[in-house]
Structure 1
């Protein structure tokens, strides 16, 4: 099943019965909307591929908030994620989100970019400006690289363009939640290990960063990237390898987005981000973590 993609116009059915819900796991359908006469209209179309049932995910004590102004998409995602064991709350706009955050906090927010009133990027900026490290996965119907880069620059943990498979969204949610606890497979963290470099102290167990003895606000994605660096000191890492270490082998993050993430982390740990000492560029290849900050032969 894809969400947000084109298809032949059919009358949509709401996912009420067990038969309808089985379509989410046993069949692939396209779900989306387009403009006809100024109004939205839903289109579902069967595809020829079969999507297997999703594998069991993380321990399901997690609460996910879906913020999207499309009621049918909210219901579809709400039903799917609930069937996967999450506690789900669906909200229509940023005003509802910010109001509810006054007295409740989810484990992760799925946030649409195009919202009435404050858009997704504005809401994300407000969260990060208030030092809120709430995990956020952005959704958008616009798949241009510039949107993804801007979203990551504002502190989104991940970004998914429509159309997409619900299993793909769930995999990204799982990856972000997993980064909150442990790194992806292949990059184990040592409990209680502190990494000192310059004025920085990275606590791999507590997933915190201090600079000059002051706590630094760092997102889950930024921490995972920095942890990947410090666990491979003096070892040049390609952009593709960094994506695998920080986001998992199934991620479709592009190399340009990784450059943006490295720039963000440099602003957190470097005395002069324009002349990095610790996260140095390996020209024509990628980056390398140099704990002592000494220049290296390129």
Structure 2
């Protein structure tokens, strides 16, 4: 019926202590068909994650008490890999918030466009839920990726990856030895234009290398970008 709200496509947990910002984000996510739960502190956020099982979490860094970094750390320590999109007031925190030990999927900096935030939520959900139409297994050295099961092994050890890390690794491994620029990877994996900045590509490559260890097939091509190839 005209004027009816779209059918919810999943619940997004918004964790933001600024109620005006939280309401604006809630409004834009609702317009896109998401159900939304808002929490204003870290402890309540962790409880909501366990209780509601959101499809994604929009998580402010600067929360009172337990900050957003600690919320994400505790989620990952509990083996909860729900996609997390950080909101930060400082661009120089980017390396920290998507740092190796946290496993964040993306970030936006304040002030941000609500439309951009919604677009990034949708992009990370595509990366997390875009199941392939056929079984696919990628192997490069001792790294084996079961694409349909979204599982990664190095020899007999399973490696836990975020949705973004998984999408980046499979994109590179599907084109062995092909060199991708950072701009190409940003567009293919994150779905952004180059104007959004490419530093996040470098940070996520560093995350993958740290998790895969010496078996990592990702090679830096100086002055250009990255490629995946057997060592």
Kindly report which structure 2 residues correspond to 1:125-164, keeping only aligned pairs within 5 A, or say none: 125-142=73-90, 144=91, 146-153=92-99, 154-164=102-112
Which whole-Å deviations, capped at 9, do the CAs of 1:24-52 have from their partners, x for residues lacking one? xxxxxxxxxxxxxxxxxxxxxxxxxxxxx
What's the counterpart of residue 207 of structure 2? 264
- 1:191–1:204 Cα contact (<8 Å) kept: no
Kindly report which structure 2 residues correspond to 1:88-107, keeping only aligned pairs within 5 A, or say none: 88-107=36-55
Which whole-Å deviations, capped at 9, do the CAs of 1:127-175 have from their partners, x for residues lacking one? 2222221101111222x2x311211112211111111221111100110
Higher RCO by CA contacts (8 Å cutoff, separation 6 or greater) = 2
Query: Which residue of 151, 157, 167 maps to 1:214?
Result: 157
Kindly report which structure 2 residues correspond to 1:2-151, keeping only aligned pairs within 5 A, or say none: 60-142=8-90, 144=91, 146-151=92-97
Match of 1:218, SS?
coil
What's the counterpart of residue 289 of structure 1? 228
Q: Aligned equivalents of 1:217 and 1:196: distance in 2?
A: 17
Q: Aligned equivalents of 1:191 and 1:243: distance in 2?
A: 25
Q: Aligned equivalents of 1:129 and 1:111: distance in 2?
A: 17
Query: Which residue of 168, 174, 178 maps to 2:116?
Result: 168
1:233–1:87 CA distance, 2 compared to 1 (3 A): same
Q: Aligned equivalents of 1:251 and 1:68: distance in 2?
A: 28
What's the counterpart of residue 199 of structure 1? 142
Unaligned runs of 5+ in 1: 1-17, 19-56, 184-188, 294-298
- 2:28–2:118 Cα contact (<8 Å) kept: no
Q: Aligned equivalents of 2:158 and 2:178: distance in 1?
A: 27
- 2:24–2:114 Cα contact (<8 Å) kept: no
Of residues 95-104 and 107-116 in structure 1, the stretch that sits farther from structure 2 once superposed is: 95-104
With the length of structure 2 as denominator, give the TM-score of the two structures: 0.89
- 1:109–1:135 Cα contact (<8 Å) kept: yes
1:172–1:229 CA distance, 2 compared to 1 (3 A): same
Q: Aligned pair 1:242/2:185, yes or no? A: yes
TM-superposed deviation, 1:267: 1.8
Unaligned runs of 5+ in 2: none
- 1:280–1:288 Cα contact (<8 Å) kept: yes
Q: Aligned equivalents of 1:156 and 1:238: distance in 2?
A: 22
Match of 2:17, SS?
coil
With the length of structure 1 as denominator, give the TM-score of the two structures: 0.70
